[in-house]
A = this chain, B = another copy of it.
């Protein structure tokens, strides 16, 4: 893999934004120009929290642990209801952003920081998700790999697949674009079948096209794709190309809207809660038309 391209050092030794640096003022304006009607579609999964209670008050089993909530006692006759939430951010049930600090490659975090200088027991000091506090806004493109259906189980997604989808949509992917990929799968809906996944070839395609951020329902395959580099998306797109990933996105509704409008580009908006010092955050990516 030593010949695989890298973005370590491309934007300086202390950079924390990674490929989001590709979103120049011109790119940003191109994104804003896509928002004409203000109509928006969420690209996030619906995460239904499991209540942190049990027995007489609730079920004794849990379907998931991505988010748990406990409704709080706010006082007898109190006018407000409230809750506490427990969020395990990097869970496949919740759409979330992976920041640079999430990934360690050879003991180092992009762009070469010693892991022990990036992460400690009290949180993340380099490459935390709040470096994107002012949002990530750019043009988004949806590449639907299986319009109206889903990819075959265990399908290895290649650059050719991405090119074919772009051709079907009649769009050209440009540097700084957010790439949204739909394959019709998720770890949750796989029902024990082999997940499709991104290959190293697809990651190379992302590099060649200057992708600034990736969001998709296709990630790294489980089990790993036979004959392919395992974990290509996280190891190479996030770890080496410094492209922040939106894991567990859900572009189903987006695909329907794009098909209906005949438009496969839109303003892409990420506005993660401004919580400092974490490796990731739950997000609700929006497509604005």
Contact = CB atoms under 8 A, between A and B. Distances in A.
Interface of A: 25, 27-32, 35-42, 44-58, 60-76, 78-95, 101-105, 115-116, 118-124, 130, 133-135, 137-138, 187-188, 231, 234-235, 239, 267, 269-280, 282-286, 288
B47 A275 contact: yes
B49 A278 contact: yes
A123 B51 contact: yes
Given A44-B133, A49-B277, A53-B82, A58 B284 contact: no
A277 B48 contact: yes
Contact of A121 (B71, B124, B130, B274): B71
B271 A121 contact: no
A8 B273 CA distance: 30
This chain: copies in complex: 4
Contacts of A67: 275
Given A274-B42, A275-B47, A84 B70 contact: yes
A209 B189 CA distance: 46
A104 B81 contact: yes
Given A54-B64, A85-B89, A73 B29 contact: no
A278 B83 CA distance: 7
Given A65-B50, A76-B115, A44 B273 contact: yes
A286 B134 contact: yes
A118 B88 CA distance: 23
Given A60-B91, A73-B73, A75-B120, 16 more contacts: A38-B267, A42-B135, A48-B276, A51-B122, A53-B72, A58-B121, A58-B122, A60-B92, A69-B278, A70-B70, A71-B122, A72-B73, A82-B280, A85-B86, A273-B283, A275-B282
A54 B119 contact: no
19 contacts: A31-B38, A35-B267, A40-B137, A47-B274, A51-B122, A54-B91, A60-B65, A60-B187, A62-B65, A65-B68, A78-B104, A78-B121, A79-B105, A84-B87, A87-B87, A135-B284, A135-B286, A269-B271, A275-B282
